[in-house]
Amino acid sequence: MAKHIKIIFASVAMTVCMPSPLFANESKADEVARKLEDPMTQYMVAGALAAITKQLLDMEVKPFVDAMDKAGAGEIAPDVPPDATLGQMAGPGAERLPKEIVQRVPKLMDSLAGLASAYGDMLPELEAMAKRAKEAMPRD
């Protein structure tokens, strides 16, 4: 009996002390969740996406229409004014898009943090399930 207890304690000690891919994956998922939940990270990502969106909305559409014409797509939009922007073509609500991105991205990132955390929590069971499935496969 004492021999079995020593083996169990030694196994637990080795498991705790030795790096394990399982623990690495869990800590990686936790690290991702912490980053996604970080307000400064959320602020920076939302700001960057809003700035990119603003730049895209300010781009002139004519060069794209000309490129499609040269590629043989035919007259895509013959009545596009030469100085029309993507934002103008998108319609009157397009100017609100960068502001909406700033408001919504942090909530989205919080949701993604929850998913990352849940993934980390589920990973041991998923790995155990994969191991059981492998062991259940018929062997030739």
Residue 3 lies in a domain: no
The pTM for the full model equals 0.63
Geometric angle at alpha carbon 55, from 91 and 45, rounded to 5° = 110
Residue 12 lies in a domain: no
Residue 62 lies in a domain: yes
Contacts of 29 (CB under 8 A, 6+ apart): 116, 117, 119, 120, 123
The predicted model gives 56-78 an average pLDDT of 80
The predicted model gives 62-67 an average pLDDT of 81
50, 96 contact by CB (below 8 A): no
Residue 14 lies in a domain: no
Q: What is the pLDDT of residues 4-39, one digit of tens each?
A: 444 444 343 344 344 445 445 446 888 888 898 999
Contacts of 106 (CB under 8 A, 6+ apart): 39, 42, 43, 46
Please report the pLDDT score of residue 54 as a whole number: 94
Please report the pLDDT score of residue 68 as a whole number: 78
Helix (H, G, I), strand (E, B), or coil: what is residue 77?
coil
Q: What is the pLDDT of residues 86-128, one digit of tens each?
A: 899 888 899 999 999 999 999 999 999 998 888 888 888 888 8
Residue 111 lies in a domain: yes
Residue 132 lies in a domain: yes
Please report the pLDDT score of residue 31 as a whole number: 87
Contacts of 124 (CB under 8 A, 6+ apart): 22, 26
Residue 84 lies in a domain: yes
Residues spanned by the domain of 28? 21-136
| Dihedral-angle region of residue 72 (phi above 0 means left; psi in -120 to 50 means alpha; beta otherwise) | left
Residue 117 lies in a domain: yes
| Domain count of the fold of the chain | 1
Please report the pLDDT score of residue 94 as a whole number: 92
Please report the pLDDT score of residue 107 as a whole number: 93
